[in-house]
């Protein structure tokens, strides 16, 4: 398969993660006809473009095969493992500790404008002679 799609992995990128795909996550079945790299690139295509699985272009492996491997790898938490590995590798490259030491969570609370909402209701109740709740 040619590198016709921008989401295809470079050889360097594949070398960084291929160790995770050497584990066999299958439970039997037919021998695989496609490389795991081809399957991963097809998954990237679907995720990047947002196309439906069965609209995967014909120069990728069959969509059912791609989806089956996506589910296997997802259920095995493979993508999280790769993300964790790459994050640690990047932190070493930029000279940081392997694990972050602290995190800052920022949230902004916005108070809604009441404009005397409860006072208006109380005044209406008083004017109408309503006792208790409406």
Domain boundaries, the chain: 11-93
Output the tens digit of pLDDT for each of the chain's 134 residues: 456 788 789 999 999 999 998 877 666 677 778 999 999 999 999 999 999 999 999 999 999 999 999 999 999 999 999 999 999 888 888 888 777 777 677 777 666 665 656 666 666 666 776 665 55
pTM of the full structure? 0.66
Spatial contact of 13 and 41, defined as CB atoms under 8 Å apart:
no
Three-state DSSP string of 29-82: CCCCCCCHHHHHHHHHHHHHHCCCHHHCCCCCCCHHHHHHHHHHHHHCCHHHHH
The three-state secondary structure class of 21 is helix
């Amino acid at each position: 398969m040619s590198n016709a799609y921008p989401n295809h992995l470079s050889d360097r990128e594949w070398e960084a993660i291929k160790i995770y795909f050497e584990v066999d996550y299958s439970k039997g079945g037919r021998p695989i006809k496609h490389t795991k790299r081809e399957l991963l690139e097809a998954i990237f295509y679907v995720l990047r473009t947002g196309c439906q699985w069965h609209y995967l272009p014909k120069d990728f492996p069959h969509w059912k095969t791609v989806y089956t491997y996506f589910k296997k790898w997802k259920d095995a938490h493979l993508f999280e493992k790769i993300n964790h590995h790459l994050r640690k590798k990047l932190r070493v490259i930029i000279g940081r500790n392997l694990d972050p030491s602290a995190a800052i969570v920022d949230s902004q609370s916005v108070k809604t404008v009441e404009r005397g909402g409860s006072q208006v209701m109380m005044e209406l109740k008083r004017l109408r002679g309503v006792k208790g709740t409406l």
